[in-house]
Chains A and B, each alone.
Chain A
Amino acid sequence: MSEVSVRSLTIEYQTSAGWLPAVADAWLDLRPGEITGLVGESGSGKSTLALALLNAVPAPGRIAAGTVELAGVGDVTRLTGKQLRKVRGGALGYVFQASQNSLNPLKTIGRQLLDLGRSHEVADLRALIARAKDLADRMGLDGDRVLDSYQHQLSGGMRQRVGIVFALVLNAKVLILDEPTTALDMLSQASVLDIVRKVHDENQLSTLIITHDIGAVSEIADRLAVMYGGRIVEDGPLLDVLRRPSHPYTRALIGATARIAGDVDAARALPGRPPDLTTVARVGCVFRDRCGFAVETCATVEPVLAAWEDGGRRRACHVEPSTVLSGASGTPAAVGEPA
Chain B
Amino acid sequence: MIQARGITRTYQTHGAFTGAHAVPALRGVDFTLPDGGAVSFIGESGCGKTTLGKILTGLETFDGGELVVDGVELSGLSARARAKYFRRIQMIHQDPYSALNPTRTVEATLGDPLRMRAKEIGGDPGKWRERAAELLTLVGLEPAAVLPKYPHQLSGGQRQRVVIARALTVDPEVLIADEAVSMIDVSMRLGILSLLRDLRTRLGISLVFITHDVATARYVGDGGELHVIYRGEVVERGLTDDVILTPVHPYTQCLLSAVPIMRGLEEPGPDRMAPIRALDERTATPGCLFEPRCPFATQECALTHPTLVPLGGDGAGVGSAAVDVGDLGDGAHVHACLHPAARRVVGVEIGAASA
What is A's interface to B at a CB cutoff of 8 Å? 41-42, 155-158, 185-191, 193-194, 212-216, 218-219, 238-243, 252-254, 256-262, 264, 267-270, 273-274, 335-339
B347 x A261 contact (CB < 8 A): yes
Q: A187-B255, A188-B44, A261-B352 are in contact. List 5 more A-B contacts (CB 8 A).
A: A157-B278, A186-B44, A243-B264, A267-B190, A269-B189
Closest 3 CB pairs of A and B: A339-B145, A190-B258, A242-B264
Q: Mark B187-224, 1 if CB is under 8 A from A, else 0.
A: 11111011100100000000000001111101100100
**A218 x B222 contact (CB < 8 A):** no
| Inter-chain contact A185/B188, CB cutoff 8 Å | no
Determine if A190 and B212 form an interchain contact, defined as CB atoms under 8 angstroms apart. Answer: no
A residues less than 8 Å from B265 (CB atoms): 242-243, 254
With a CB–CB cut-off of 8 A, which chain B residues contact A215?
215, 259-260, 262
Known: A185-B45, A243-B265, A253-B186. A258 touches B216 (CB 8 A): yes
Which residues of B from 258 to 291 have beta carbons under 8 Å from A? Answer: 258-266, 274-275, 278
Cross-chain pair count, CB within 8 angstroms? 156
Instruction: Say which residue of A42, A219, A258, A264 sits within 8 Å of B263 (CB atoms).
Output: A219
Complex Cα distance A158/B187, Å?
Answer: 29
Interface flag for B332 (CB, 8 Å): no
Contacts of A262 in B (CB 8 A): 266, 349, 352
B157 at the interface (CB under 8 A from A): yes
Q: What's the Cα separation between A200 and B278 when bound, in Å?
A: 22
B189 touches A261 (CB 8 A): no
Compute how far the CA of A41 lies from the CA of B187 in the bound complex, rounded to whole angstroms: 8
Q: Are B219 and A264 in contact (CB under 8 A)?
A: yes
B52 at the interface (CB under 8 A from A): no
Q: In the complex, which residues of chain A have a beta carbon less than 8 angstroms from the beta carbon of B266?
A: 259, 261-262
What does the 1/0 interface line of B128-165 toward A look like (CB < 8 Å)?
Answer: 00000000000011100110000000011110010000
Q: Are A337 and B244 in contact (CB under 8 A)?
A: no
Q: Among A238, A243, A258, which residue has the most Cβ atoms of chain B within 10 A?
A: A258
CB closest residue in chain A, given B263:
A218
Query: Assuming the A-B contacts A42-B156, A187-B258, A243-B264, are A258 and B44 also in contact, with contact meaning beta carbons closer than 8 angstroms in the complex?
Result: no
Whether B258 pairs with A253 at a CB distance below 8 angstroms is: no
Q: Which of A238, A252, A339 contacts B141 (CB under 8 A)?
A: A339
A189 interface neighbour in B141, B185, B186, B258, Cβ under 8 Å? B258
* Chain B 236-262 interface mask (CB, 8 Å, partner A; 1/0): 000000001000000000111111111
Determine the distance from Cα of A253 to Cα of B195 in the docked complex, in whole angstroms: 18
B78 to chain A, nearest CB (A): 38
Footprint of A on B, CB under 8 Å? 44-45, 140-142, 145-146, 155-158, 161, 185-191, 193-195, 198, 212-216, 218-219, 222, 244, 254-266, 274-275, 278, 346-349, 352
A240 nearest CB neighbor, chain B only: B264
Task: Check A212 against B185 for contact (C-beta < 8 Å).
Answer: yes
Given the interface contacts A190-B274, A257-B262, A258-B216, does A213 sit within 8 Å of B186 by beta carbon? yes
Contacts of A240 in B (CB 8 A): 264
Chain A residues contacting B45 (CB-CB under 8 Å) are: 156, 185
Query: How far in angstroms is the closest Cβ of chain B from A92?
Result: 26
Query: Are A186 and B255 in contact, with the CB atoms below 8 A?
Result: yes
Q: List 24 A-B contacts (CB under 8 A).
A: A155-B278, A185-B212, A187-B254, A187-B275, A190-B257, A191-B274, A213-B260, A254-B262, A257-B262, A258-B216, A258-B219, A260-B218, A260-B259, A261-B266, A261-B348, A261-B352, A262-B266, A269-B188, A269-B189, A270-B191, A274-B185, A274-B187, A335-B198, A337-B140
Q: Tell whether, in the assembled complex, residue A218 and residue B347 are in contact, meaning their CB atoms are under 8 Å apart.
A: no
Complex Cα gap A188–B264 (Å): 23
Cβ of A41 and Cβ of B264 under 8 Å apart?
Answer: no
Residues on B with beta carbons closer than 8 Å to the beta carbon of A337: 140-141, 155, 157-158, 161, 188, 191
B260 touches A256 (CB 8 A): no
A258 touches B193 (CB 8 A): yes
- Report whether B213 and A186 are in contact in the complex, using a CB–CB cutoff of 8 Å: yes
Whether B255 contacts A335 by the Cβ 8 Å rule is no
Residues of B within 8 A of A239 (CB): 263-264
CB distance from A220 to the nearest CB of B (A): 9
| Contact A256-B187, Cβ < 8 Å, known A239-B264, A335-B194, A337-B161 | yes
Give complex CA distance A29, B215 in Å: 33
Which residues on A sit within 8 Å (CB–CB) of B258? 186-187, 189-190
Bound together, the chains give a CA A261 to CA B202 distance in angstroms of 27
| A41/B186 contact (C-beta < 8 A), A238-B263, A258-B215, A262-B352 known | yes
CA–CA, A215 and B261, complex, Å? 7
A187 and B44 contact, CB distance less than 8 A: yes
In the complex, are the beta carbons of B185 and A42 less than 8 A apart?
Answer: yes
Contact of B185 among A41, A155, A242, A338 (CB under 8 A): A41
Q: How far is the CB of A145 from chain B (nearest CB, A)?
A: 12
B140 to chain A minimum Cβ distance, whole angstroms, is 4
- Least distance between B94 CB and chain A CB atoms (Å): 12
Q: Are B222 and A264 in contact (CB under 8 A)?
A: yes
B218 & A258 in contact (Cβ 8 Å cutoff): yes
B188 and A260 within 8 A (CB): no
A256 / chain B contacts, CB cutoff of 8 Å: 186-187, 189-190
In the bound complex, CA of A188 to CA of B293 (Å) = 14
Given A157-B278, A218-B264, A219-B261, check contact A260 B346 (CB 8 Å): yes
C-alpha spacing A267/B195, complex, angstroms: 13
Q: How far is the CA of A72 from the CA of B233 in the complex (A)?
A: 55
Bound form: Cα–Cα A270–B145 in Å: 20
Q: Is the CB of B187 within 8 A of A258?
A: no
Contacts of A269 in B (CB 8 A): 187-191, 194
CB contacts (< 8 Å) of A41 on chain B: these are 185-187
Query: B141–A260 contact, CB under 8 A?
Result: no
Bound-state CA distance A155–B348 (Å) is 31
Taking the nearest CB of chain A, how far is it from the CB of B156, in angstroms?
A: 7
